[in-house]
Structure 1
Amino acid sequence: MNHDVLEKNLLRPATRSALDELTHVPGAQPRAPRGPLRTDQDVRIAIVHDWLVTYAGAEKVLEQMIACFPDADLFSLVDFLDDRSFLRGKPVTTSFIQKLPRARSKYRAYLPLMPLAIEQLDVSAYDVVISSSHAVAKGILTGPDQVHISYVHSPIRYAWDLQHQYLQQSKLTHGPKSVLARLILHYIRNWDIRTANSVDSFISNSAFIARRIKKVYQRDAQVIFPPVDVDAFSLCTQKEDFYLTASRMVPYKKIDLIVEAFARMPTRKLVVIGDGPEMAKIRAKAGPNVEILGYQPFEVLKDHMSRAKAFVFAAEEDFGISVVEAQACGTPVIAFGKGGALETVRDLSGPQPTGMFFDRQDAEAIVAAVERFDELAQRFVPADCRANAEQFSAERFRERLFAHVRAAVPALRGVTLPPYVQYVPNPPGLEHSEREGQHELPADLPRILAVDQSGVLGGAELSLLEIVKALRSRVEVVLFDDGPFRSELAKTGVAVNVLDAGVLKNIRKQGGSLPKGQALKGLLALVRATAQRARAADVIYANTQRAMVIGAVAGKLVRRPVVWHLRDIVSAEHFGGKQLAIIKWCARLGLKHVIANSAASAQAFAQLTQFDSKRIDVVFNGISAEPFDALRAVPQATLRERLKLPRDAFLVGSFSRLARWKGQHVLLEAMVLNPQMHAVLVGAALFGEDQYEVELHAFVAAHGLGERVHFLGFQHDIPACMCAVDAVVHTSITPEPFGRVIVEGMLARRPVVAARAGGVLEIIDDHENGILCTPGDAHALADTLAELRSNDELREKLVENGYRSALSRFGTQSYVDGVARILKDVART
């Protein structure tokens, strides 16, 4: 680059505003440069990124580039970011693809236009152009007096070595569309090679990618490993007996192979974190020793990475950030021996190993590697893993990148790397403690119409209440019945409308006559009223089955997508034949997406309806620990006195509405066998199940249990009731969709005993964080409770592990984030 040209252009930083037209004609006059961006720098810098739609590995590199050059201007094909904090508030100049139809969700479909689009971004007013490229960013047009440095995450993989895999996954192996796709990819390869000539200096994110660059472009590249936020992870030397894998569930990550391998090793436990289109396939391969947690927030991922015995990684990655993150926790890695992992993991052939490799991407090789790891586990020292990870820190990346750019640009050789300043997007004056206490709403959250059939505070309603509290500024609620639920919703400040459900109130899940005549008119009126309110919303969020039926029809009328939060196992054990038929009809008619509260619920729904598994997500219910933690200092004797419970007895609590399938009679039968214990039944007969309550009282009288069974009826303060008892039981005799009371019991720091069926199996690890019993078996329940009463060590273990798992897996933050993310994605499409 001409040094004199740079010297003439001191203090003239420039950018161009967002494009006013869909295309920019090459050769047209450039936009006038804007005023100076800073006074201590004389080189104008532009950073070009492929597309801005998420915050992943490439965006972490971009974040550190901006930290190195805080006054650089940003360019990208599209910018649909929700969380923009890593851009430090910078605006982004985008291409004409930003304005094309459905670009937000289908931007990849515009691949044939991307070479043209990147060439229309005008960076002619800049002295230095830094491209962050895994697709087309390196093709930005630069002149002879500009320095172009390209950080290449990979040459366009689906146009080069992954072309055949891309065509197979896109079902483009035969026919006219296949011919067209191959022609487009051929054109992109030619364009990709040609544009490599305009790059002055290549940087690769690994030696593996440097070899790719050499083979494709015939150019050498300096290796600068991408930044890993190792400071966000801390060294943990105490490991537990489970393995971990965490990734987006897409084919090339090979999570299915890891799960298949562990299914062949039933004595070894695997925890899987992540979600994606392969979720259903992976769940189908999982055995009882494989725990699939789905999407989890960072804190949960970090906790599992810290405690895992080893991190298993089966992908051929260009680099593999998660491999380094695991080592930052002191956790060794079992990885496929190809790609970037060979550069980030030290194997047993050298000193201070941090992991080991397997040489084939198949289940047999993974099994052999895990077995060998178990034999040699003492060779891996957590401190060595941490030390190896620190060489990939963000600070090291900034130092190396800045040095590379400074060496390539003579005018920068006297400039030093600016100090790293943590970007805080909150307005000045907001204290740290205030920021920590807020639940930050996702950007671009849609307008939501939440629909629920009930006015009582059941489990579904309590779960919806958590969503409304967090998203209340974007939510309106419609109920089909009045009651305590409306009052609780009103306290959040959300708008609540109660519609008259008429005869629908009398329809139960187990069956009954469908409405006819005048009743049908009432049904149609309910649909019309819901549809009217849905017009002002972007998405309808149905929280219960009856609400889903109304919502599906209303959504069809006003062309709004409908998301059903499925909180039931839709089987003949829970629903009547007519109700199941209606659910199948609604799935075909008007459901866009389903959120299931457990894998058991998701599987039953998929089997019944043949619904596309890609449109079903599992999001565990979120339950706040705050009301339980608030009672930690309150003596149990005080709580028992308040509830008029015996002070010194061993109390076993059941927390559920009184219904036969909830199995309170099983607990009463166990009490007959356990004369040293008392039973506390919290709940009322809510949905026409009064006869069952009569039968329970009759059983108590017939067996002389009057002094040892305490019916407390409906209670508002469930945390106080739970903290007053010594153990919590869940006695459902048919599979439970989730089991909210189990998590609540864990948060109350009480040992939990639950029926072994349905969603319960996704919450409890037997004799680790709770105990499982055969549904309906009073003798087994009695024996288990007797063991709990006499075994202090077991109770303490269950309490400690239960509380920890409840916090990490069923927190309100991850629950709200998961639901909000799905509603936002559905509203976009």
Structure 2
Amino acid sequence: MLSVYEGFFSGGARIVHSDVVLGLREGGQHHRVLSIHGEVHREATRQRMEDDACYRALTAADVGVASLGRTFGLGGTDPAAFSGPELADTARATADADVILSLKEQPLALLRQGGLPRRPVVVCLHRSDPENQGRALDDLKAAITDGTVAAAVCCAESTRSAYRAAGVPADLLHVIPNGVDLIRYRPDAPRRLAVRTALDIPLAAPVVVFAARYDGMKNVPLFLAAARAWLAAVPDGHVLMCGAGMTTANPGLAGDIADAFTGAPGLPSRLHLLGVRHDMETVYAASDVVSLTSAWGEAAPLCLIEGMMCGAVPVATEVGDTAAIVAGHGLLTPPDPTAIATAWTEAVMRRDEFAPALAASRERFSRTRMIASYAALIDQVYAGSVDRVRLSEDG
């Protein structure tokens, strides 16, 4: 098996896919990873492949990871044009693969290049807005037409619906919901105490966590407007912001905070900017509410699932599959800061009420279930490719 990534940078899709690779390897499959970019500049953050937590987890498990060495975000490189040496490296990486997994559509521009070994590709789709990703949808359709793509994994029902509506054949689309490691993501009192102690947050104080990269789809200004309203109404409340670009070094975020908290200079002292964290299970365990304010693009947001499994009540705007994920476990809100702040307070008050439902849903969101489904689909695709080769030889 070969997985092809656009690059290693902070985000839920890469976390899920890397965990799938690790899980399939644990099940006996041999996996390697090829990354188009070795360094990514986005969300006001320089992200080197070697510094990424997913990269380190893969290599620690003896999964080989190679890169074409490109740098994303500095301009000057045509994403659809590849040099001779880059194609040679790709050919070597794909030559002994039986099936290739493409993390989202972006690597398909590479995998469709002429002269590369033809291997069945399973493209893994992680958004609900296929027409809002530049040329990616066109590349996907072209890869389906020329036979490169044998199947597509949709991480959510909203993903399948959106791609069907965009013209992708329904028989190629297979829904495998996201899952997480239930041993890692669980309520944990010592973790809760450790994070709160480190941040000087009292153990009884209500805490809301926002885990997202600094991107327009996440609607950070809406979240900050809700944070202002909530912190003003809840004198002992604290808000945590995690993810790429969620630091004071990001001028965009600094400007958003200044705008949101104009006239309330004391409130940001209870707004904690934590940046990229590699111990999100401890951050979620320290929180009472996990919030999502996204406006578009989400499918099955990993932050909600991870937070829920650690005991945080999800409060989210309705986008992608959030309604199905949150149902019975938390609260949906309109994209209104006052409504969101009110929902956070309600979620804190009802945390004990939601706890049994969160505990009962753990198997639904398990990593084991997700990986077994990926393995079954890969076996199906591989068997189909073998049958086609036999038919060709017999013909």
What TM-score comes out, normalization by structure 1 length?
Answer: 0.41
What's 1:535 paired with? Answer: 95
CA–CA distance in structure 1, aligned partners of residues 278 and 200 of structure 2: 16
Answer whether contact 2:55 2:65 (CA < 8 A) is retained.
Answer: yes
Q: In structure 1, the residue corresponding to 2:291 is in which secondary structure?
A: strand
Aligned to 1:461: 14
What is the distance in 1 between the residues matched to 2:3 and 2:130?
A: 25
Q: Identify which of 465, 487, 495 aligns with 2:56.
A: 487
User: 1:651 offset after TM fit, Å?
Assistant: 1.3
TM superposition shift of 1:488? 1.8
Alignment map for 1:758-797 (pairs within 5 Å): 758-765=320-327, 768-774=328-334, 776-789=335-348, 791=349, 794-797=350-353
> Structure 1 pair 569/648, CA: closer, same or farther in 2 (3 Å)?
same
Name the residue aligned to 1:620: 177
Shift of 1:525: 4.2
Let me know the Cα RMSD of the aligned residues: 2.5
**8 Å Cα contact 2:317-2:333 kept in structure 1:** yes
Task: Give the conservation status (yes or no) of the 8 Å contact 2:87–2:116.
Answer: no
SS, match of residue 456 in structure 1:
coil
Q: Which residue, 720, 727, 733 being the options, matches 2:295?
A: 733
Q: Does 1:564 align with 2:133?
A: no
Secondary structure of 1:763's match? Answer: helix
Aligned to 1:654, which of 194, 210, 214?
210
Give, in angstroms, the shift of residue 709 of structure 1: 1.1
* 1:541–1:563 Cα contact (<8 Å) kept: yes
Distance 1:628 1:634 in 2: 13
Unaligned 5+ residue runs, structure 1?
1-447
User: CA separation of 1:492/1:661 partners in 2, compared to 1, >3 Å: closer, same or farther?
Assistant: same
Which structure is higher in strand share? 2
Distance 2:319 2:243 in 1: 22
Aligned length: 359
The structural deviation recorded for 1:636 is 3.0
Q: Equivalent residue of 1:526, what SS? A: helix
Q: Secondary structure at the match of 2:81?
A: helix
User: Which one-letter code corresponds to 2:21 in the other structure?
Assistant: V
Deviations 1:193-217 (A, max 9, x none): xxxxxxxxxxxxxxxxxxxxxxxxx
The change in CA–CA distance for 1:690 and 1:602 in structure 2 (over 3 A counts) is farther
Change (3 A) 1:580 1:514: farther
Match of 1:506 among 73, 76, 80: 73
Q: How does 1:440-479 map to 2 (within 5 A)?
A: 448-472=1-25, 473-479=29-35
Instruction: Tell me: CA distance 1:506–1:527, structure 2 relative to 1, closer, same or farther (3 Å).
Output: farther
**Hey, what's the Cα distance between the residues in 1 that align with 2:225 and 2:261?**
13
Q: Distance in 1 between matches of 2:368 and 2:59?
A: 22
| Identity in percent | 23
Q: 8 Å contact 1:654–1:664 — kept in the other structure?
A: no
Any conservation in 2 of the 1:468–1:492 contact (CA below 8 Å)?
Answer: no
Deviation by residue 1:385-432 (Cα, 9 ceiling, x = unmatched) = xxxxxxxxxxxxxxxxxxxxxxxxxxxxxxxxxxxxxxxxxxxxxxxx
- Map Cα deviations across residues 270-297 of structure 1 (whole Å, 9 max, x no partner): xxxxxxxxxxxxxxxxxxxxxxxxxxxx
Give the deviation of 1:468 after TM superposition: 2.0
Determine helix, strand or coil for the equivalent of 1:684.
Answer: coil
Which residue in the other structure is 1:496 paired with?
65
SS of the aligned residue for 1:658 comes to: coil
Look up the match of 1:160: none
Q: Report the Cα distance in structure 2 between the residues aligned to 1:759 and 1:544, rounded to whole angstroms.
A: 18
In structure 1, how many angstroms separate the alpha carbons of the residues matched to 2:217 and 2:182?
28
Structure 1 residue 552: deviation in Å? Answer: 3.8
Runs of 4+ with deviation above 4 angstroms: none
Identify which of structures 1 and 2 has the higher relative contact order when contacts are C-alpha pairs closer than 8 Å and 6+ apart. 2
Does structure 2 conserve the Cα–Cα contact (< 8 Å) formed by 1:735 and 1:759?
Answer: no
Bigger Rg, which one:
1
Provide, for residues 774-795 of structure 1, a one-character-per-residue CA deviation record: whole Å limited to 9, x for no partner: 2x32121012122233x3xx32
Q: 2:261·2:268 contact (CA, 8 Å) conserved in 1?
A: yes
> Cα deviations across residues 480-530 of structure 1 (Å, max 9, x unaligned)?
22231322210111122122235xx239xxxx99829xx8343x6434422
Give distance in 2, aligned partners of 1:651 and 1:520: 47
Report Cα offsets for 1:705-734 as digits up to 9, x if no partner.
Answer: 321211111111001111112211111111
Aligned letter for 2:363? S
The within-5 A match list for 1:220-619 is 448-472=1-25, 473-480=29-36, 481=38, 482-483=49-50, 484=52, 485-502=54-71, 505-506=72-73, 515=78, 520-522=81-83, 525-553=85-113, 557-572=116-131, 574-576=132-134, 578-589=135-146, 590-608=148-166, 610-619=167-176
Distance 1:637 1:537 in 2: 46
1:679 aligns with 2:201: no
The equivalent position to 1:669 in structure 2, one of 218, 225, 238, is 225
- Quick one: distance in 1 between partners of 2:77 and 2:22? 35
Give the letter for the 2:213 counterpart: R
